[in-house]
């Protein structure tokens, strides 16, 4: 009887929303790995003990269950009020009292350039660059990045954050490798030379998408129409994340 109660509790308690969910992170990681230089790919594969960028990309969420990594919890997001200008955004994005995502991406890049063999920081960097391109991780503080906004999705209650983390991707019915292959075929890879100034530009791009997502909150009830409207936005966000992650990893490990 006790086991039954535990099982029922585990079913009824909602799972905390993670950036992109497992599939989304792995899609970005899989796509990014195809864009690595041979030298970068060899070094990163060795550091990950022959694992892949895709399979290690969720490590940053998995460690949330370990109190030893509690300090990293605020590294996954930067919350910024709606309707700010680019100038206002730039002055807010690197502040650490509203979540430290943008700041910590730059911090980890600097740390890995000094010590590229730090596998903990490598796996965190992979995860956080991917988070940086997930719209609701540049959300608004008053609703916790959309977590407090209840919506209907195919007749079931969820929240806006969870929709963009997982539900919108899962609605495609593809494995992460199938989705990554589709994006690889339909979107040309862009070879970028990384500059640290790009980080805030990437964050601003995500913030602009987030503004569109908030403005269309009432449209989620017509789920198929919502997918039709935002599928290209989702795909571009995943592809941008992969392109930018590859540029960062090539800059650190490809020289």
pLDDT reading at 16 higher than 50: no
Question: Is position 11 within any domain?
Answer: no
d(CA 231, CA 140): 22
pLDDT reading at 225 higher than 80: yes
Residue 6 — very low, low, confident or very high, per pLDDT cuts 50/70/90? Answer: very low
pLDDT reading at 13 higher than 60: no
Residue 48 three-state SS: coil
Is pTM beyond 0.75? Reply is: yes
pLDDT reading at 156 higher than 60: yes
Question: Is position 1 within any domain?
Answer: no
pLDDT reading at 235 higher than 50: yes
d(CA 226, CA 220): 6
Q: In this structure, what CATH number is given to the domain that contains residue 66?
A: 1.10.575.10
Please report the DSSP string for 140-180 in residue order.
Answer: -GGGTTTTT-EEEETTEEEEHHHIIIIIHHHTT---HHHHH
Question: What residues have CB less than 8 Å from 216, skipping those under 6 apart?
Answer: 226, 229, 230
Mean pLDDT of the chain: 92
Give mean pLDDT, residues 158-170.
Answer: 96
Question: Is position 28 within any domain?
Answer: yes
Residue 191 — very low, low, confident or very high, per pLDDT cuts 50/70/90? Answer: confident
Structural domain harbouring 220:
17-253
d(CA 221, CA 211): 18
d(CA 28, CA 41): 15
DSSP class of residue 97 equals B
Question: Is position 27 within any domain?
Answer: yes
Give mean pLDDT, residues 44-49.
Answer: 98
Q: What percent of the chain has pLDDT over 90?
A: 87
End-to-end CA distance of the chain: 59
Predicted pLDDT of residue 5: 38
Question: Is position 33 within any domain?
Answer: yes
What pLDDT digit, counting tens, does each position of 118-136 carry?
A: 999 999 999 999 999 999 9
Q: Calculate the alpha carbon distances from 182 to 28, 173, 235 in Å.
A: 12, 12, 10
Question: Is position 81 within any domain?
Answer: yes
What pLDDT digit, counting tens, does each position of 56-88 carry?
A: 999 999 999 999 889 899 999 999 999 999 999
Q: Calculate the alpha carbon distances from 78 to 94, 239, 252 in Å.
A: 8, 21, 24
CB-neighbour burial class of residue 172 (10 A; exposed 0-12, middle 13-18, buried 19+): middle
Helix H, strand E, coil C: the string for 188-248 is: CCCCCCCCCCHHHHHHHHHHHHHHHHHHCHHHHHCHHHHHHHHHHHHHHHHHHHHHHHHHH
How many domains are there within the chain?
Answer: 1
Give mean pLDDT, residues 1-27.
Answer: 56
What element of type H or E holds 130? helix 119-131
Question: Is position 65 within any domain?
Answer: yes
Predicted pLDDT of residue 239: 97
Give the largest Cα separation in the chain, rounded: 59
Question: Is position 2 within any domain?
Answer: no
């Amino acid at each position: 009887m006790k086991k039954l109660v535990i099982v029922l509790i585990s079913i009824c308690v909602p799972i905390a929303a993670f950036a992109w969910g497992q599939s989304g992170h792995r899609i970005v990681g899989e796509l990014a790995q195809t864009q690595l230089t041979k030298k970068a790919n060899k070094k990163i594969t060795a550091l990950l003990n022959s694992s892949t960028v895709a399979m290690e990309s969720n490590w940053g969420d998995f460690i949330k269950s370990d109190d030893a990594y509690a300090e990293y919890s605020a590294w996954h997001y930067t919350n910024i009020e709606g309707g700010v200008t680019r100038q206002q955004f730039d002055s807010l994005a690197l502040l650490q009292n509203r979540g430290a995502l943008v700041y910590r991406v730059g911090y980890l890049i600097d740390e890995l350039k000094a010590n590229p063999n730090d596998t903990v920081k490598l796996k965190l960097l992979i995860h956080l660059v991917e988070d940086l391109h997930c719209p609701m991780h540049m959300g608004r503080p008053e609703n916790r990045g959309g977590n407090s906004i209840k919506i209907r999705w195919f007749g079931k209650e969820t929240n806006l954050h969870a929709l963009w983390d997982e539900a919108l991707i899962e609605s495609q019915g593809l494995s992460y490798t199938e989705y990554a292959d589709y994006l690889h075929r339909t979107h040309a890879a862009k070879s970028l030379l990384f500059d640290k100034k790009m980080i805030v530009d990437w964050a601003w791009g995500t913030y602009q998408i987030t503004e569109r997502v908030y403005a269309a909150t009432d449209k989620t009830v017509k789920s198929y129409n919502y997918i039709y409207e935002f599928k290209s936005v989702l795909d571009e966000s995943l592809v941008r994340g992969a392109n930018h992650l590859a540029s960062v990893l090539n800059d650190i490990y490809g020289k």
